[in-house]
Amino acid sequence: MNAARCWTLVLGVLPMAFWGSAAHAQPNDNDYAIDLFQGPLLASARSLSMGGALAALGQGIGAYTSNAAAPATRHPYSLSWWDWDIDGTLSFPIRLFDNNDFDNSGDLDADYTNFIYLAGGLQMQAGPFGIGTFGDLQRYTLTFPPDDASTTVLVGRYHLLAGWGFLDHQLMVGGGARALSLGVSAPDAELTFFGVSPQIGVLVRPNWTPFRVGATYRHAVTSQFSIGSDVSEDDAGVSRAGKLVIPREVELPWELEIGAAIQVGARPLNPAWINPHEHEEELVASYRRRRQQRLRRIHDQLLSLPQGETRNRLRARLLEDEAERQRREQRRMERDLGLLLEERRAYARNWPREAVLLTVDLVVTGPVSEAISLERFLSQGQSFETDGECQVVASGREVNFSPRFGVETEPFPRYMHVRVGSYYEPNRFSYQPARCNDRVGRQHFTFGLDVKLVTTTWFGLSPEVTYKLQAVGDLAARYQSFGLGFGVWH
């Protein structure tokens, strides 16, 4: 494709309601939105390598982006009533080829470079209750050849969720907030947008069955302009930041995600979680009963004596003996509780590792009214020719569907996870002339692996943690991305 043709398709001509008809068309007013739908997945390594199909798995901090019920779902290795988890990933997606069309407009227009993906979260669980937070930051640089000036984009997505496990942890229900931040650092302007909206989710995992189903709804996040530099208003009342006409809002469209998972092999997908309080209840109750019986005998023995010095001396000696006996019993009980903990640990560790996990998802994405893409917004003020056949005029006019699937297995048990997946990236754009609207989306093929590295406390400065090396790839027409990162091994 020659350079002139490529530039033609960067901006296009939007409907005359708010776009001019000049060759270098730009918004005429602020009555438009930015559709912040992102087609290519930039997610945790596990989610990306399995094609984003984690709604039914709904387990772990990395699943917060796929199912709002994830905080209530216990891992098989969760052994205590109080449990916590921390997870973090830092990766640098690598572009090996020059034929990237990140926004899937159908043309190789803007140049996306310097990708950094940072994700992390914290989770706390107490019996059937779970609460946690997860956030990810995507930073990249965008330029419009032949101009050398670049724009830095920082997109943040944040989840604050809580959930409860019902029916012996076979039904998880959760919800919370989803927040969005968008920072734009253009050559002549600095803009920041922020917004929050609710989300809910459900996960069904019948004990000792090889399947799960899950669903979540994430309401649209509408981010109003909050902070900016070099913002001015022209004589027509149009707010601008440098060359950029500020939009009415930035919207992350609503999403409905449903999924199913099935595991084939000797390893169970849904082992029943052993409630530590119930597992330890009989042991703790037996010690408590013996203690109460001794105290009753002491009480009866003292009642048989008349009040006086003799009774007081005997009472002091008996209670002193009882206190010492309780200290010895407490040590024995803690030892016995430790044995029960080891029993639960053996229960979790000794399952066979041979298994293949299959997941499928369908993500439905809602429309955004009177919207353009982020790339089209940032391309304002660029010099473009208009001799192309198909020009982008809008984004997010219709509901879109994205089927996804993933496969996970352990070729080297306890040392390596291998995953493959695929997802369909729908085309969110509308074009002129109308015959160009027969363009469809593109299919992505993903893969990845985790390799167990070392377990360390960093010379006693932190709790013992096992780390992993991650590699992930995403291949599609006019798009390739490869990433390396480090995380916490489970």
pLDDT score at 388:
57
Predicted confidence band of residue 109 (pLDDT cuts 50, 70, 90): low
Minimum mean pLDDT among 165-179, 286-300, 369-383, 416-430: which range?
A: 369-383
Pairing assessment for the beta strands 33-35 and 249-252 based on DSSP bridges:
parallel
Compute the distance between CA of residue 478 and CA of residue 106 in angstroms, rounded to an integer.
Answer: 8
At 97, is the pLDDT very low, low, confident or very high (cuts 50, 70, 90)?
A: low
pLDDT at 93 over 70: no
* Six-digit token string for 123: 């989770």
What's the pLDDT score for residue 165? 96
Alpha-carbon Rg for the chain, nearest whole angstrom, is 29
Residue with the larger pLDDT of the pair 345 and 417: 417
Is residue 242 very low, low, confident or very high in pLDDT (cuts 50, 70, 90)? Answer: confident
pLDDT tens digits, 312-360: 888 899 999 999 999 999 999 999 998 988 888 888 778 888 899 999 9
List pLDDT tens digits, range 252-290: 999 999 999 999 999 999 999 888 888 888 899 999 999
How sure is the predictor about 423, in pLDDT bands with cuts at 50, 70 and 90?
very high
Other Cβ atoms closer than 10 A to 426: 20
Mean pLDDT of the 431-452 span: 89
Least confident of 4-13, 308-317, 368-377, 460-469: 4-13
Mean pLDDT across the stretch 9-38? 56
Q: Which of 440, 392, 482 is nearest to 93 (CA)?
A: 482
Mean pLDDT of 446-474: 88
Residue 365: strand, helix, or coil: strand
* Res. 21: pLDDT tops 60: no
Section 55-72 average pLDDT: 93
